Amino acid sequence: MRFGIVGSGIRGRMYARSLGEAPGVRVAAVCDLDESSARQLGEEFGAAAFTDHRRMLADSELDAVIVATPDFAHRDVAVDSAQAGAHLLIEKPLATTREDIRAIHEAVEAAGVQCLVGFENRWNPAIRRLRELSAAGRFGEVLTQNILLSNTYYVPREMLSWAAKSSPAWFLMSHTVDAAGWVADKAITSVVARGSRGRLASLGIDTWDVIHALLTFADGTTANLTSTWVLPDSEPSIVDFKYQVVGTEAAVDVDLQDQSVRLAAEDYSWPGLLGGELDGRLQGPPTWMVQSFAARLLDGAPVGPGIADGAMVTDVVLAILESLETGAPTPITPSLAGTSAVSHA
């Protein structure tokens, strides 16, 4: 099976390597607007390199395409790839506007291809266990979830050249909105959000510093999300990720970053157990996700989470951003007719 990858940054390179370790697939083409970056990635993986994804699609006879472009730049690549008959793995969020969601959905439906939206935490063993415990009734009724997912300054200042066109809502809450809906298996009906901005703007990155969002589900229960981009760079990890589920019968707390490995040297760090290599092969949720995507395509099996899940998350994040601006509770407006803000896959 021949894969193309659009976007040769951190994620595109990780996907290329992960697929290189998977049976029955190969990276046949890569594309990036930066010609030198595309050429370097192509040479590393023996793939043809392009700067125009349309040329890549016309010349490469691809079975699947991974869209690893910035949050706001998914639509054209996804639509054109679907129309070329390629299955899709699209980085989260699926899109940042309802119009883009509808365009991608229509193209995928018309072409009859499959689409997986990259909510990698569904392959995170800890969050998967929370979902299993919830589905088995171990929590009783899930009453609330408290989820913290934040980054140090390194992410908006160094890692993302396009941080001013994104926010902690798009970059981080896309993960936690999906997780909250998946673990509770309930429809999200409204949000109230509060936040602050100014610190990153003073550094030339005009976006939100801190966002808090209270999600309300159809049965009146809640999930409380917090994401920031202003943790000190002296933190032991660039990511802080903590998750609590409280139910009528049980509660559970998970620290997804301090994974019992603490290194004290010239500084203090949490090396973590997820990610990295084992026997020279990449491990961790994003690698397992893309390898599962490839394996299921090879087997002719359905993939997911799909467009309905991606649309749900985008709808909720749009409501969060609207509530930040208005200060008012904001109902969830589904982008796709006949869908609701719930994630079952």
- The answer to whether the CB of 90 falls within 8 A of the CB of 65 is no
Summarised one tens digit per residue, pLDDT across range 83-116 is 999 999 999 999 999 999 999 999 999 999 999 9
Whether residue 342 is predicted with pLDDT greater than 70 in this model: the reply is: no
Summarised one tens digit per residue, pLDDT across range 170-193 is 999 999 999 999 999 999 999 999
Whether residue 344 is predicted with pLDDT greater than 80 in this model: the reply is: no
- Which has more confidence, 228 or 274? 228
Summarised one tens digit per residue, pLDDT across range 47-82 is 999 999 999 999 999 999 999 999 999 999 999 999
Amino acid 338: pLDDT: 64
Choosing among 2.120.10.30, 3.30.360.10, 3.40.50.1820, 3.20.20.140, the CATH entry for 122-274+306-331 is 3.30.360.10
Q: Which two tokens stand for residue 41?
A: 């990635």
Choosing among 2.40.30.10, 3.40.50.2000, 3.40.50.720, 3.40.50.1110, the CATH entry for 2-113 is 3.40.50.720
The torsion of the CA quartet 163, 36, 238, 73, rounded to 10 degrees, works out to: 40
Q: Where are the domains of the chain?
A: 2-113, 122-274+306-331
Q: HSE, CB side, 13 Å, CA atoms: give it for residue 292.
A: 20
Amino acid 343: pLDDT: 46
**Chain CA centroid to CA 152, Å:** 18
Whether residue 341 is predicted with pLDDT greater than 70 in this model: the reply is: no
Summarised one tens digit per residue, pLDDT across range 234-284 is 999 999 999 999 999 999 999 988 877 888 988 888 877 677 777 778 889
